[in-house]
Chain A
């Protein structure tokens, strides 16, 4: 597998996959070939959920898992000379051998020997017949040699033992071969080894599975269970063995915590013990997990281990993927007890997951706690159960359907073929949970921190001098105290910042850094969704345990004998409880993490080794908690960075097999920011006591700096801020529990050398080398010496720091007074020489190493060319884009100046995520165009309707933002003026929340779907996907390319923002150099580079920056901050407070009046950039940009670097030049095939001709199935093009469809379009509905009760801006998420209903799921919940529940339900309408508080009769809001001022 070798930045472990899964089974256990063929056709119908590489024939992988087809083998085997015993007495190892003869023989020899060693007998080998003629090139290049190895069961062995032996055989053989067969051993895999099931899979497209494996077409091959999987991977490298299903499961999703899970499994191996396996057998199996295998493969391995050691498959999955139980309001005590018990035993395998599983007897499926993958099922009257990611994947007669359901978050359903029935979640789990008295076990065994005795010892607050020394020695700055700690202590929140990070990376900084700062947080983008830790807090959990693990193969009362700690920040009192814990099970050993401050080489290394040794000794001595403490620091002893000490001990103990016996608690002075805590927890700490942060807070509190709060309140505020911040950090990676985050190492290390990483941070990614241990020691000592100086002269107050605001002598910033001034003067005066001076200042700063590119220099590989021969500036200007900044984050003036400038020079400005005022679609009298060429589609979908999409030249899907990747946003109500509200399709004065994830992108195949939707909404627009640079972004970009995006933007972590938590600005994501280079290299290597345009942005400021970006593979560049500076921005970094004094980032009219930016200046700037770039091109000998793209060998690492810190860096992986095939090249040269030629809308469009041309009414009916996606979208686009925002008169176009509609039915449908669907539909129904009307009801022949069955999938009406819809039946999770205008009637919804809704109405005539109305700031929902449970299921954070009283309102609700009845024939509606007086009183009205207040203002304004224009009314209502708000805040200010005066006296 040479192509997998590590070159450049690409690493195979970054690959992600995601998929379509499903199964078909017969409940009564009737075997048939039809089950198999149905499953295969299901697979084929989910082809759009799979991926293909550069050649369409090379799929990402697909496969099928079935019961052992004995009849088939009984017929076949004699022909192969294999004598087959009766069923059950033999098993088959479906095995991939290396293709080459030599290694294959070597593998076979070992295999044979292993069979003997395990005590089984070989019956024979059967080469599996295969036909590779349809395979694509890459699949064929890595095609293995598939053989079925028949293994006989000894006569005296029972079947369970035989199954276990087969498992041991498989693990043992694989380990043996991998260790001994050098060439090709890695290719050897046993994909299944069982007497019950067999697996056929490979690197196929879905259609290729039966073509390749002829066996599957054989009618004799029968099964009553068939589980299938189609893979969409971000890479296209050989991955035959990563295809799914695995042995027990097919997994659609991603285990975000995999690194931790693997480590913890490893840590527990020494503790494992059970009757099913002997110790020798366990040793043959270990390691259970395989770091090189995918997350899904590891999940399967652990499932297998736990199942074979005696638990049922559902039980195991409940352990590993538990429901969110802690904050669950309606869960039974028994079940909570089960989950609590197991939470002490094992951390969740966390991440989005839909899992289908089978052990050959039962088959089932489960969903993760957040329900982030679709799973639909139905049961027919012939006992067939069909379960898949989508509905409609097998054609079935609707009349035979007994039930249509979906899997809900955290739920499981099982078809037990032995019992011949479906066991629903409740029964199944109740059965499992009541097997043991878990509650009693917990009550007796589990110890809560509060229960521990409080020792009398306590630490006193140090005096000023000592505190100051400590602060110095731990590198505190004034800024950290006043801008971070004080804010957290006072407000209980992490502070906000704005603009980007333009200071050096930790490794390039001259100021001594925290070790944590070399660790960059990873975050979810595309392949899995981040979570909203605020609005979806119900699934978050910060509980942690200490006291050592137990053997997970068994369960007993002692298993939960651990100490439960509710959250990981230990206040002093709690730490002392632990320190002095004296309990029969727990004692704590304190180890000092200090090293002698003599600066000797190797001192730190020796000390770490000693601490690790002591830790091991402590375990031997029976301690189960290790407390690492640096409290003993003195002038001779410096503190080891707590992160280093913790991780060193953690990894040392994992390696020595003792980690499972203890937990690590840390008492340290260096930890203060959220990020610091995250790193410690991420590298194995269970809890942290930041004593110096506490002491600093107490000091500030006592000085009265923190207002009125008491010391206890301040500490509590700080702890809360840290906890909230931690949850945000977990959730940005899609992790919801601390237990699974702990040790998961969700970081990339930037600037620490491989040796240190391998020893102390094993398994973390660090790609450019950097500091060694002695440099880390030196950095620590530099701080220590400040606190304990050898002599006098030091400052008497803390240094400013200068990280967040520029300070002389503080941290360096690229934008500082000099560069800002030079740039502004150069562009205002049109002075190119001054521009040169500006560039020189920045580029030379770069040479003092601010950035990675600053460490590079050009080297010419060609002869220079005369400047005149370089392509003209006009061509190059087209390659620019400005960053995505919304109107809302920056002012109208600043926004339109950029748009006009960019349109004049033919480049692209970006609307940002706030929609666009249609007034900009008209040209100005002088011909200037204010329309943003690029329109953004972000998670909030504000103002994203058909017309908006139609007016774009490019549509950008913002997956992440450099300044806060993985996080959402919140535009507070006081910033939503009438104008901004209008543009965003919302109500002025009402806050707007952008969710962290796009709720229609939880996976790569979802992204492909959104791209398809947008392409339908505007097929002339280029689709651009914005990613943020992080480890593995290249493979994500490859996935994005395969999802058919036309362009991908790699943003640096350092890009700008209007408001973002300051830890996110600094600590999440990577510089673009790494991400861009990785992307380019990965695309080239995948032979995808020519299909996609690569763009980059993030602190691009000079022509040199552009040249470096181009050489690293970018063909387009985004420049935003610098353009704003040209417009007048002076980097106040106060964008979030709306007080920008130069009118750039403010909405205040008085400040906007101060704006002085000019279109001409902006144009001059871009012209200067190009002029400088052309000069560099001439010098390097490039005549065109295309020639220059990706020519990384024109860059080299400066060889003159002699810095104590960064001379150890190695940038060669970044400037590694990936060679491309001749036909592909290094830049985008061909178009994506969007596969839109065959879509249904062409027919609809044709039929709608008269309506479009003449406004005549048209009708028609069509059949749909699940592969017809985005029905009505392209049609709506055509209407928007012609009729703009207004659409057509209602009812002009009426189409009736029948069948199971694909995803995004009616997406962006506009006014005048009415779609009626008989049947059902999948996810994203009515996405972005823009005025159209939709209705759906079950097939007329269906027998089931509509209101009890699921009819449309998850995330319906996401971001709808208008229109109506009527749904007869139940909808999935997140119904009406971010709806801002549609009026919808439905008969039941899943969890998170009406989340983030800002407008429109939702009428729900049935039950709702949990967390209803979370983040709902506008619109109204009417719920008819007969169960009375509804109030318990609401998230009351922003809403109020009211009764219906207003007559007018009751009448309009009546009218809506009546329409529902008319459109869908709903019997529920009929029943309600028939007794309206009674039912109308039963509705709950859900009213968002802010919305209510604004409606009140609006009606007050309206009643004055002063305004006739709607816009004026909105403005007046907004002003009323602001005025009232000011009165409130002033009242508060007065109080605050009084407090201050009191304190200052």
Chain B
């Protein structure tokens, strides 16, 4: 398969990004696709391993390694190398309903597992995937494929994020009539409002949703099940119900001053921005502007990064990003974090790069804990009191942060964004359905079977798993669809 010596001949080449000046001035996607020949060479780097670690869906020490949806990476890498893009697309779609999403937003645990990573930079799997699907759309290969016949069964899917959409797509393919409920005004959940446009252009999302609709899925936006529609009613109307409503309860920071104005959850900030962008090109003003403000983002994850990038596009005066954990190393620690584990190394993402470009340095500070917020007379936040911490182990061996003596200092801020993760699904829905929950408040259902304690009610995605990656959501959506199909029909042909 492929070119046996490709990895010895070609270096890794990732997708290029647009020039800073240009991209900071608009909301278009940051990355561009490589040339065809470059993609062919990148495909050739794949070694077609007998045991492709990229293709496994594993979680080691809490982090994913390998592809959670078991993308057939060696196979499509080979097909890319041979220039057989259509075949590559078919094999990609075999495991992944939405490669255009994962190709853009997935942190690529596959590359962590890539065997070539033992000795060289891994194969650029993420970018290869993106290239395949975009070529597919470009060539008109991605078309709606409605099922040949209908089973007569109805399924309700609550939530139109990646889990809900994947589940709906698969169930529809098996011939069930699927209705997707979304409480927001637009379909797409996290894909629509959770991820900013420069990372995932919303036309990419709607393009897929249009395809799904053309395949026969009914989308009902603006219906908040549990509030607008009773659970009982739903159970009556549908042969099965899938809860894929995400883990949208944000983690708060209950410190003094939290009630001050201009302290927002990151999601509120991002959602409003995208909505206003889509509604009016930000002309309606219905968003939280960071323009001219000193912005502090609390949380060093991907959402934090999105906040940084969004704030910079608002032309914030200055953006800082605080993280309570220590700064990871730049090289993999082969003793404690060996291949194929997810490498806990410092990642400089697009947002940080943009901050470096505009502000001259990485916006992130590590080992920072916020003690309190301070405000002005009008109740607007003005500053944060922060301390430096060190991480120590308690008696049970658990790490906890200890304040570094005399490290308290004040950071001025006009806008604070809390991007510290999510706790679990909203309570009202689960309560109304009478669902059991796990200790982390997620809906209780086992991975692989997805059935909740209520007959005919299933749950998948972040709602069941807790906050996670888009690609896990797709994994869960597909798996859940298979289980629902079996539940309805006794068996399933779904891959």
Contacts and interface: CB of A to CB of B under 8 A. Distances in A.
B482 to A, nearest CB: 9
A1139 B340 CA distance: 20
B115 A1141 contact: yes
A1141 B114 CA distance: 12
A1205 interface: no
A792 B148 contact: yes
A791 B47 CA distance: 38
A152 to B, nearest CB: 75
A733 interface: no
Contacts of B83: 1540-1541, 1543-1544
A796 B90 contact: yes
B6 to A, nearest CB: 9
A792 B85 contact: no
Interface in A1510-1545: 1540-1541, 1543-1544
A499 interface: yes
Given A808-B57, A1132-B49, A1141-B47, A793 B174 contact: yes
B84 A1130 contact: no
Contacts, number: 137
B493 A793 contact: yes
B451 to A, nearest CB: 19
Most chain B beta carbons < 10 A, residue from A703, A705, A1132, A1154: A1132
A805 B50 contact: yes
B62 to A, nearest CB: 15
B56 A1139 contact: no
A567 interface: no
A102 interface: no
Interface stretch (A818-826, A860-868, A1025-1033): A818-826
Nearest to B50: A1133
Contacts of A1134: 4, 47-50
B485 interface: yes
B494 interface: yes
Interface string B46-88: 0111111101111010000010001010110010001111000
Nearest to A1148: B8
B8 A1150 contact: yes
Contacts of B115: 1130, 1132, 1141
A499 B50 contact: yes
Given A792-B173, A795-B495, A1130 B4 contact: no
Interface in A794-827: 794-797, 799-800, 804-809, 813, 815-818, 820-821, 825
Contacts of B119: 1141-1142, 1154
Contacts of B495: 794-795, 799
Contacts of A1141: 7, 47, 115-116, 118-120
B94 interface: yes
Interface string B1-25: 1001101100000000000000000
7 interchain residue pairs of minimum CB distance? A1133-B50, A1544-B83, A793-B174, A808-B70, A794-B493, A817-B56, A793-B493
Given A791-B149, A793-B485, 20 more contacts: A482-B78, A703-B84, A705-B84, A791-B151, A792-B147, A792-B149, A792-B493, A793-B173, A793-B493, A800-B75, A805-B50, A808-B70, A820-B51, A825-B338, A828-B338, A1130-B49, A1133-B49, A1141-B7, A1151-B8, A1544-B84
B4 A797 contact: no
A54 B55 CA distance: 56
A599 interface: no
Nearest to A1138: B4
Contacts of A1130: 49, 51, 53, 115, 118
A1260 interface: no
B91 interface: yes
Interface residues of A, number: 48
A809 B8 contact: no
A804 B8 contact: no
Nearest to B57: A808
B94 A1139 contact: no
Interface string B24-56: 000000000000000000000001111111011
Interface in A329-358: none
A403 interface: no
Contacts of A482: 1, 75, 78
Contacts of B8: 1139, 1150-1151
A1176 to B, nearest CB: 28
A1468 interface: no
A816 B55 CA distance: 11
B456 interface: no
19 contacts: A789-B493, A791-B151, A791-B174, A793-B492, A797-B91, A800-B72, A800-B75, A805-B50, A805-B74, A806-B52, A807-B72, A817-B53, A817-B113, A1134-B48, A1139-B4, A1139-B5, A1139-B7, A1540-B83, A1544-B83
B94 A795 contact: yes
A1154 B339 CA distance: 14
Interface of A: 478, 482-483, 499, 703, 705, 786, 789, 791-797, 799-800, 804-809, 813, 815-818, 820-821, 825, 828, 1130-1134, 1137, 1139, 1141-1142, 1150-1151, 1154, 1540-1541, 1543-1544
B401 interface: no
Interface string B469-495: 000000000000000010001001111
A794 B482 CA distance: 11
Nearest to A809: B70
Contacts of B174: 791-793
Contacts of A817: 51, 53, 56, 58, 66, 113, 340
Interface in B436-495: 485, 489, 492-495
B51 A806 contact: yes
Contact of B493 (A499, A703, A791, A1133): A791
Contacts of A808: 55-57, 70
B93 interface: yes
B136 interface: no
Contacts of A794: 493-495
B175 interface: yes
B483 to A, nearest CB: 13
Nearest to B69: A808
A1321 B441 CA distance: 89
A786 to B, nearest CB: 8
Contacts of A478: 75, 91
Nearest to B494: A793
A795 B96 CA distance: 12
Nearest to A1150: B8
A813 B50 CA distance: 10
B151 A816 contact: no
Contacts of B485: 793
Contacts of A816: 51, 56
B217 to A, nearest CB: 14
Contacts of B4: 1134, 1137, 1139
A1502 B91 CA distance: 54
Given A789-B493, A791-B151, A793-B485, A805 B91 contact: no
A516 B489 CA distance: 33
B122 to A, nearest CB: 11
Contacts of B151: 791
A799 B91 CA distance: 9
Contacts of A806: 50-52, 55
A893 to B, nearest CB: 14
Given A789-B493, A1141-B7, A1154-B119, A1544 B90 contact: no
B57 A815 contact: no
A924 to B, nearest CB: 27
A791 B51 contact: no
Given A792-B147, A800-B75, A1141-B118, A1131 B340 contact: no
Contacts of B78: 482
Nearest to B56: A817
A805 B57 contact: no
A804 B50 CA distance: 7
Given A797-B94, A809-B70, A1132 B173 contact: no
